[in-house]
Structure 1
Amino acid sequence: MDVMLPVPIPKMFTYRVPYELNEIVQVGCRVIVQFGSRKILTGVIGRIHEIPPEKYEAKTILELLDEEPVIHKLQITLFQWMADYYMCTLGEVLNIALPSGLKLSSESRIQLHPHFDYYGSSLEFSDKETLLLETLLKNDSLSYSEISKLLHQKTIYTIIKSLVYKEAVIIFEEVKEKYKPKKETRVRIAPHLLIDHQLEALFDLLASKPKQEAILLHYLQHVPVFNQPELNRQGLAKNTFGNGGLSESSLKTLVKNGVFEEFEIIISRFGSYDQQLTDITLTAEQEKAKANILESFKTKDTTLLHGITGSGKTEIYISLIQDALEGGSQVLYLLPEIALTTQIVTRLRKVFGDQMGVYHSRFSDNERVEVWKGVLNGKYQFVVGVRSSIFLPFDNLGLIIVDEEHESSYKQYDPAPRYSARDVAIVIAAHHHAKVLLGSATPSMESQYQARQGKYGLVKLTSRYGMAVLPEFAVADMIRERNKKLSKGEFSSLLIEAINEALDNKEQVIIFQNRRGYSPYITCHECGWIPKCTNCAVSLTYHQYRAELRCHYCGYKEPMPTTCEACGSTHLKTIGFGTEKLEEEIALLFPQAKVQRMDLDTTRRKNSYDTIIKDFEQGHIDILVGTQMVSKGLDFDNVSLVGIFDIDRMLHFPDFRSFERTFQLSTQVSGRAGRRGKKGKVVIQTRNTSQRILHQIISNGYQDFYETEINERKAHLYPPFTRIIGVTIKNKDPKTAKITAMKMGNLVREKIGTNRVLGPEEPIISKIRNEYLMELVVKLERSQINLGKVKSLLYESMLEVLQEKELRSSKIIFDVDPY
């Protein structure tokens, strides 16, 4: 049989099946196999056949882990498609698709060699070798970490290598199952006490033991065994006896004396939703939009729902999900990132209760496995999740909803596969004969273009839900403000006045700045020195709350310097501003306000995002300062003002999508202002008030923006008019990186044509994690070109370049549809 392995190899490996397993093995089951001389891996059976490999001797699988498949055949087809399309290996797809909890971990351990006689050996051993051998005489085996502690040294490989050479020890892999079901300890009355009036006799016996009697009464209050004896089988959770001052030792005594039985059951990590489920009612416009979507689905597999912010798209999604579930189909509802799930999941849970699963990266390994298995066994017919949920083992999908389909968070950048969950969702739907609904207030250029071309259906929602009205906009000219000395720090007089007005009216404010940290960088006032990352070609960002400088690319950090490392001056100053600095300035300008920051630094913990949202909803926060997290799908009744900082930096970022992303982010965050009958206000701060895009944002002029942007794309041959494949070359030596890139560029030009290849060029950030980068861009026409052939030529070019001895240390990475 052929086994998919979670390592970066392009093909499956063939293994032999032990005779006794011939009738049991199935495609999609996990197996433990030996790969190479020492590696033990968890693989997934991809194909069962009787053809032995020609180039190597097939090993026998070590163990079959599943009686039933954990991966469906449709998923294996999808994984292979992803490997081919995104120019990576099948193993890389499997590695990221399968939850860590379903992959076995192997730990190297040391044991005495079976033929080694410690007491009769004539070999000489060092003191540490002797200590290790004597410890192994008393233990079956030791792990690397245990040996490290025993010998009081971190590096132990020299000692182990010496003992292996002397044939005193052998190394083996201990394989452990990662996933552990959550268990609950329960107690129940011993069954023999429920017959022939035994309980009455027990009460007589316990009359002189009030603590034990209290335990028994507590049980009977919660489990009425006299009226319903069958309830005793389920028992009562042991931890409930800790309430009300009940004696733990008395419970132990009752168990010891055979009055209670103690047992364990497997329970869900997600609890259960025991509140009354609610229903939703659509407005006339929402009903019309839903009918148009269903009509579109008759002829189109994918439909774009273009609904302005606050138009009530979620209610339409809920109604469509209900219809699909009632029809017996599974549903996947994709959200771009964890930041969006809190409020929406709460709303969905009230409608769908326990039949809904939630899948995202903040869950533990065990929680993700429970959702995976819940989809397999039919517990969850409906899952709401982030991009990784496209890998879940659905076998009967009827509908996929991709909310905020324009979001760049749907794209995975590292590691491979570098896929777009939105695009993969459309491929999955084709495999399942399902329908896809893309939703956005600011659709991506690609989706809008496909809708205009008639490939996708298009449905519009043009008015806000209920009594909500669109906000009014004001533009603050920061050059004029500074020239006239009207601004205070980074705040225009216009924004300060608007914040004061909102606070006076007991209303809330959101301040949007798409840069975290206190300040982008610090510099010496005397000589201009700027601290740089030791691993990346970027300046370090100053984080005041930790008094440190940090790199947002590799995680390197160092303490805030007190003097300039170049000239020794103590005159260091911060340049620019991030969310942390804004938070500080707001606290100084508005001391009466309760201010909170929401960015990657304040939401790293599992529930920290939920806590901030809850506090803001309940009015414990007056001003919320944040990065793009605050722009997405959140619905707060009392927000009347949104301030957008430094829009110019977003607009002038060197990327052909910068205008599109600025329009989307600004429109999305503006949508947080003014709901439920209140007209909100948005203040945009800029140094150039004449920019056309500002007027398009203010007038909610998506159509005008789309026409302008699509014409630019067409003129300069960018998507959706072309396909792009990014090629990144990495090497720890900058000269070798450049030589590799030049040779790769020349080869590709020879094979596919000069006009289709741009570069090589150094990217904006030319060094990350001690590796120097060079980039090529391959632009391909949308039609009359064999994409598969081009990818093969690129791959051949890579192999040809890396055959040269001096260039083998380079890495060449392909990124299909990189932006």
Structure 2
Amino acid sequence: MDTLFGDQYDAKDEKSNLFADIILPVPIPKMFTYKVPRNLSEEIGIGYRVIVQFGKKKVLTGIIGKVHQKPPSNYEAKPIMDLLDSYATVNPIQIRFWAWMAEYYCCHIGEVMNAALPSGLKLSSESKIQLNPTFDADTCSYPLDDREEILLQALGQKEEMSYEDCESVLGLKSIHVIIKSLVIKEAILVFEQVKEKYSPKVEARVRLANAYAADKKLLEALFNEISVKPKQEEILLKYLQEVPVYKKPELNQKGIEKKVLTDAGLSTSSLKTLVKNGILEEYKLIVSRFEREEGSDEEISLSSEQNEALIQIKQEFEEKNTVLLHGITGSGKTELYITLIKEVLAGGSQVLLLLPEIALTTHMVGRLRKVFGSKMGVYHSKYSDNERVEVWNGVLSGKLSFVVGVRSSIFLPFDSLGMIIVDEEHESSFKQFDPAPRFQARDAAIMLSWLHQAKTLLGSATPSFESYYNARMKKYGYVALDKRFGEAQLPAYYLADMLVDKKKNLLKLDFTRMLREKIQEALNNQEQVLIFQNRRGYAPYISCEDCGWIPECEHCDVSLTYHQFGEEMRCHYCGFKEKVPNTCPACGSNKLSAVGLGTERIEESLALLFPEARIARMDLDTTRSKYGYQRLLEDFGSGNVDILVGTQMITKGLDFDKVTVVGIMDADRILYFPDFRAGERAFQQITQVAGRAGRRDKKGSVIIQTRKPDQAIFEQIISGDYKQFYIQEMGDRQRFYYPPFVKIIKITTRHKDFKTAEKAAKYLHNLMGEIPVKKILLGPEKGLIGKIKNQYIFESIAKLDRSSNAQAQFKHELQHILEELQAQKEFRTVRFVVDVDPY
């Protein structure tokens, strides 16, 4: 493979002998060399998007990684078909970052590119086109040629067309030039088949007819005329209150949103009459999907503890590039973030704030928007492709200097990052599991900061053991913030023994007496309650009471989760679902019962126990829609919900004044999980969700339901003794060779045939044993879930020495082994997945 970085070519070089190495969004371990046509030789450069032919028929968007004069030795270079932009879409730092990610996470740079670029920037032969709803041929400032007009006429008859459809309509073999031209003229929009189609955000507005806005006497005469029609008069008065045309007639042109009038409870029929009579004009305006408002100059008021922490952070940054801010829940980390962001932006640099969940972005965006206004962008997976392109271009053009986003936002085209803040840095949501690159956003952010010579601030109330270890080893700076902001007090913890309550017949619908009483007390005081259960669905599974039959997925080795809503059973791995049977398929019994607890079942139980309470549920099923999180949080924040039941989504950074009770339904289920991080995650999740209670002047209560209340971890959680818990756990980690004392790489072997998968896994495992580095190899073992989506799964684990040389050598040799195996006919259809830092 050619090296990724090369000096830019000299425009005076021989233009006919110019070649470009192109990064393509395909899982192939090298770039492809294409010939640069003479007419493009002075226009292209590193990071430019180009259209190229890949294979016989495919057309793909690629990114130029290098320009040079060396032709490929083993194939004839095809010419670049076209240049998509007159500027670089990707900058050289991004390409270096992609290259590092491909190397470190054992994947291909094309896979990184595929993850990095929004689909709206990846034009391909699999793309589809639609008419741009905002396009008007009569007012278009660019002339259309005959072929473009034919294509637009065809699109007028169809909602969408594929590349093949366009080629057929025009009788051409290649139509990318025409499509590019129509995109530039904003006549069409390109979208991916699997993605939602773009539709602009349209705002209904009204304004006063110009004749009345320009002539005060005419307006006064109008009021005299409609004084007998009070509903119409009320609408006009409301309009003039919002738009003072007497003082500034020019404001009338913009008008107001129609909903300002309708939401005020004014008569819609009278509004229609005013429009019909030509007094008001109704029109539609296409607006940006992102709010544009000015930021506030208001100074953030810091407590003495926060000020001390801020001074310490700055001192640590003088010597260290990464600092861990260990601040207990409610200590006011967000105010510190805002202060630091303001300072970095004032210095002319960019800032990225990484959050683990979309729910957190929803909660924090409003607060941050008030401070930073239109300088700030938001980037997450619930945005459409077109919205993500809008943010991408905003960063590229410099309009957005501060971005709040989830893990994918590390791929944005920053060119002068000054700081990355990773909030809740311990969260497992920062890890990308599928597809490649399987990266850890926190770790990748530290590398991205290094490339930009920027600083990284990691914030958490319960830091990951890796970050805390690095802080104790003086690799990272460390700042503690151990007092809650303002008058807020830490919550009181209570352990509720489920077995004792069960023996005394006090357990009702899986709620202990203590938890029921605390909930009732909060409801009586018009306070709010959070109930945490890390399992969605009605119940984990259904079982036959007579023969023990449990329904299983047809494609995976897992039981189906029962969802009462819709009366169906679903697989949470492949999406398979089926209706709940009336009788047991195995023995014919009608004694089928739900076993275990899911959020849906808890919601139902709460409705029976507290019929007067308003209850909502927050889990993956209730937040699938784009604004699902936002609506739920707004309802809860405004007091329209008394009890919110949720999965781990509710443990992260939510701050509501009226929450005084937090209930943890089944702490043992979090603790007893087959993972070396089970204790660490239990400590983190319980501490984080407990931190939602008593966030202002009232002390909150946290009730932990457990069958084993005497476990040491509960004492450490209640006392907040993170350090003691860390020391205890790290002793076990060191003894049994787990991170942070070793690096782990998991290699998964998948195939539809069990014997082929097993044979390939053993063959791979034996070859890995021959790699000459210090290591411990485990496996191959059948996966914890042995079959997913009809693919049998085997896993091997490599524990490597932490030295970078050992890791680099193992990864390098592993790639060669996998290439050799895939080249063998027997294993050609076997899928090998390499996951670095998998847990």
- Cα gap change, 1:533 to 1:799, in 2 (>3 Å): same
- The equivalent of 1:68 in structure 2 is 87
- Cα gap change, 1:649 to 1:218, in 2 (>3 Å): closer
**Taking every aligned residue pair, what percent have the same amino acid on both sides?**
55
- The equivalent of 2:642 in structure 1 is 622
Please state if 1:805 is matched with 2:825: yes
Please state if 1:542 is matched with 2:545: no
How many angstroms apart in 2 are the aligned matches of 1:218 and 1:461? 50
1:18 Cα offset (Å): 2.5
- The equivalent of 2:345 in structure 1 is 325
- The equivalent of 1:91 in structure 2 is 110
Aligned residue identity for 2:272 = G
How many angstroms apart in 2 are the aligned matches of 1:702 and 1:254? 64
- The equivalent of 1:355 in structure 2 is 375
- Cα gap change, 1:797 to 1:144, in 2 (>3 Å): farther
Aligned with 1:791 (options 811, 820, 830): 811
Q: Contact 1:277/1:350 (CA < 8 Å) preserved in 2?
A: no
- Cα gap change, 1:278 to 1:797, in 2 (>3 Å): same
Please state if 1:731 is matched with 2:751: yes
Q: Contact 2:488/2:694 (CA < 8 Å) preserved in 1?
A: yes
Aligned residue identity for 1:506 = Q
Q: Contact 2:294/2:372 (CA < 8 Å) preserved in 1?
A: no
- The equivalent of 2:272 in structure 1 is 245
- The equivalent of 1:34 in structure 2 is 53
1:10 Cα offset (Å): 1.6
1:764-783 to structure 2, matched below 5 A, reads 764-783=784-803
Q: Contact 2:773/2:810 (CA < 8 Å) preserved in 1?
A: no
1:142 Cα offset (Å): 13
- Cα gap change, 1:253 to 1:270, in 2 (>3 Å): closer
- Cα gap change, 1:514 to 1:188, in 2 (>3 Å): closer
- Cα gap change, 1:2 to 1:228, in 2 (>3 Å): farther
How many angstroms apart in 1 are the aligned matches of 2:451 and 2:350? 14
- Cα gap change, 1:469 to 1:203, in 2 (>3 Å): closer
Mind listing any 5+ residue stretches in structure 2 that lack a counterpart?
1-19, 129-149, 180-188, 192-197, 227-232, 263-270
- The equivalent of 1:368 in structure 2 is 388
How many angstroms apart in 1 are the aligned matches of 2:251 and 2:61? 41
Q: Contact 2:563/2:569 (CA < 8 Å) preserved in 1?
A: yes
Mind listing any 5+ residue stretches in structure 1 that lack a counterpart?
110-135, 149-156, 256-261
- The equivalent of 2:30 in structure 1 is 11
Please state if 1:497 is matched with 2:517: yes
Please state if 1:177 is matched with 2:204: no
Please state if 1:679 is matched with 2:692: no
Q: Contact 1:674/1:680 (CA < 8 Å) preserved in 2?
A: yes
Q: Contact 2:357/2:649 (CA < 8 Å) preserved in 1?
A: no
- Cα gap change, 1:216 to 1:715, in 2 (>3 Å): closer
Aligned residue identity for 1:65 = L
3-state SS of 1:664 partner: helix
1:752 Cα offset (Å): 3.6
Aligned with 2:776 (options 739, 747, 756): 756
Q: Please tell me the root mean square deviation across aligned C-alpha atoms, in Å.
A: 3.7
Aligned with 2:452 (options 424, 432, 437): 432
How many angstroms apart in 2 are the aligned matches of 1:240 and 1:586? 37
Aligned residue identity for 1:787 = Q
How many angstroms apart in 2 are the aligned matches of 1:512 and 1:253? 52
1:48 Cα offset (Å): 1.8
1:446-525 to structure 2, matched below 5 A, reads 446-525=466-545
- Cα gap change, 1:649 to 1:61, in 2 (>3 Å): same
- Cα gap change, 1:248 to 1:538, in 2 (>3 Å): same
Aligned with 2:97 (options 55, 78, 95): 78
- The equivalent of 2:185 in structure 1 is none
Q: Contact 2:208/2:281 (CA < 8 Å) preserved in 1?
A: no
1:492 Cα offset (Å): 1.1
How many angstroms apart in 1 are the aligned matches of 2:260 and 2:121? 35
How many angstroms apart in 1 are the aligned matches of 2:204 and 2:518? 57
3-state SS of 1:48 partner: strand
How many angstroms apart in 2 are the aligned matches of 1:752 and 1:770? 35
- Cα gap change, 1:519 to 1:715, in 2 (>3 Å): same
How many angstroms apart in 2 are the aligned matches of 1:238 and 1:471? 45
Aligned residue identity for 1:177 = V
3-state SS of 2:110 partner: helix
Aligned with 2:418 (options 398, 407, 429): 398
1:613 Cα offset (Å): 1.1
- Cα gap change, 1:238 to 1:567, in 2 (>3 Å): closer
Q: Contact 2:424/2:461 (CA < 8 Å) preserved in 1?
A: yes
1:88 Cα offset (Å): 0.5
Q: Contact 1:279/1:351 (CA < 8 Å) preserved in 2?
A: no
- Cα gap change, 1:640 to 1:247, in 2 (>3 Å): closer
1:635-784 to structure 2, matched below 5 A, reads 635-752=655-772, 756-783=776-803
Aligned residue identity for 1:355 = K
Aligned with 2:69 (options 50, 56, 63): 50
How many angstroms apart in 1 are the aligned matches of 2:739 and 2:811? 18
Query: Matched residue pairs, number?
Result: 758
- Cα gap change, 1:735 to 1:598, in 2 (>3 Å): same
- The equivalent of 2:14 in structure 1 is none
1:622 Cα offset (Å): 1.3
1:489 Cα offset (Å): 2.5
- Cα gap change, 1:453 to 1:806, in 2 (>3 Å): same
- Cα gap change, 1:647 to 1:60, in 2 (>3 Å): same
- The equivalent of 1:299 in structure 2 is 319
Q: Contact 2:775/2:801 (CA < 8 Å) preserved in 1?
A: no
1:519 Cα offset (Å): 0.4
How many angstroms apart in 2 are the aligned matches of 1:267 and 1:702? 49
- Cα gap change, 1:276 to 1:722, in 2 (>3 Å): closer
1:802 Cα offset (Å): 2.6
3-state SS of 2:487 partner: coil
- The equivalent of 2:230 in structure 1 is none
